Amino acid sequence: MTADNRAGAEPAPDAAGHAADHDEPRLVVAGVEVARYVVRPDLDPRHGPRPYLHPVRTLAGTPVTDALPADHVWHLGASLAVQDVDGANLWGGRTYVRNAGYTWRDDHGVIAHTGWRHRAADRLDHDLEWRDRAGRPLLREHRRLTATPAGPDAWWLDVDATLTAATGRDVHLGSPATNGRPGGAGYGGFFWRAVAAGEPEVFTGDAEGEEAVNGATAEWLALTGVGPGGGAYTLVFTGLGPGDRWFTRTALYPGVCVAYAFDRPAVVAAGHPRRNRHRVLVADGRLDRAEVAARLAPAVAG
């Protein structure tokens, strides 16, 4: 049995509700810590407890994630979360109910770490369970996080997540939009709550602005902003799967989501795992459309 898998007491949370420091593995690129992974957050069940990356930083040290913000306390850095998993809320906050709107319900589950496969400075590989409020597994997940260099001012985060039905039947994924909310609120999937001083800019290869980009199926989406310390950054997201859409907000809060059920429910079919691969370029400075395309070209070629 490895040190990663030895039984032991759960770490005590700190004052912010995070797990103790020794339970937050780091991702390191070129000797620079670029992210911490909060594996076992001690959170109110209504906040959708789940592993999440925070803080994520550029190579120059600019923070590019937010966690537990006052406007949406259940937004947790960069994480996987879905509001409706066979009726269980694994996103946090109020549940959108058709013909009733957002409602507090006793339906919150948890996405729980169940064991490590690999831990290194550039790769974290583990197993998880997506559980309903009674602790019953709905989905099992194998997740791999990797961090690799992308030049002197940027790095790549890769998130590979394979979801397998744990119920012996199909598991359905939904969103407020699929449950009746208008306005393109199809969030749920791989979600990144950014941090920005002022409203950030968002664009794809052929559109710009929240209204034009939300719901798009573009190959990539970029968000540029200024961090709390004044450093400019650019995040470039790739990795839409079949049926996925981009969900984005810039005016209400800065966030980007690879939405699995943007306008119709998604299904993790029994016996047929769903593989998601999300890739994010975390760069210092503001990149324009041409610069983003140039940065992505070597990755596509490779």
Q: Tell me whether residue 258 is in a domain.
A: yes
CA quadruple 50, 51, 55, 57: dihedral, nearest 10: -130
List alpha helices for the chain, DSSP H. 210-213, 289-301
pLDDT at 190 over 70: yes
Angle at 281 between CA 280 and CA 284, to 5 degrees: 140
pLDDT at 158: 98
Q: Are 255 and 124 in contact (CB under 8 A)?
A: no
Q: Tell me whether residue 3 is in a domain.
A: no
Structure tokens at 109: 């589950």
Structure tokens at 277: 């691969």
* Residue 89: domain span: 20-301
Q: Tell me whether residue 190 is in a domain.
A: yes
Listed residue (192, 204, 187) closest to 247, CA to CA: 187
- What whole-number distance in Å separates Cα of residue 89 and Cα of residue 28? 33
pLDDT at 293 over 60: yes
Each residue of 16-72: pLDDT tens digit? Answer: 333 333 479 999 999 999 999 999 999 999 999 999 999 999 999 999 999 999 999
**Residue 299 confidence class, pLDDT cut points 50, 70, 90:** low
| DSSP 8-state code for residue 187 | -
Each residue of 4-18: pLDDT tens digit? Answer: 332 222 333 333 333
Average pLDDT over the chain, rounded to an integer: 92
- Per-position DSSP letters for 16-30, written without gaps between them: TSPPPGGGS-EEEET
**Residue 196 confidence class, pLDDT cut points 50, 70, 90:** very high
Q: Tell me whether residue 7 is in a domain.
A: no
Q: Tell me whether residue 217 is in a domain.
A: yes
CATH number of the domain within which 159 lies: 2.70.98
Q: 31 by DSSP, 3-state: which? A: coil
**Residue 1 confidence class, pLDDT cut points 50, 70, 90:** very low
Q: Tell me whether residue 229 is in a domain.
A: yes
Q: Tell me whether residue 9 is in a domain.
A: no
pLDDT at 300: 56
Mean pLDDT over 104-131 rounds to 98
Mean pLDDT over 283-290 rounds to 98
Number of domains in the chain: 1
Mean pLDDT over 115-127 rounds to 98
- What whole-number distance in Å separates Cα of residue 235 and Cα of residue 194? 9
pLDDT at 298: 73
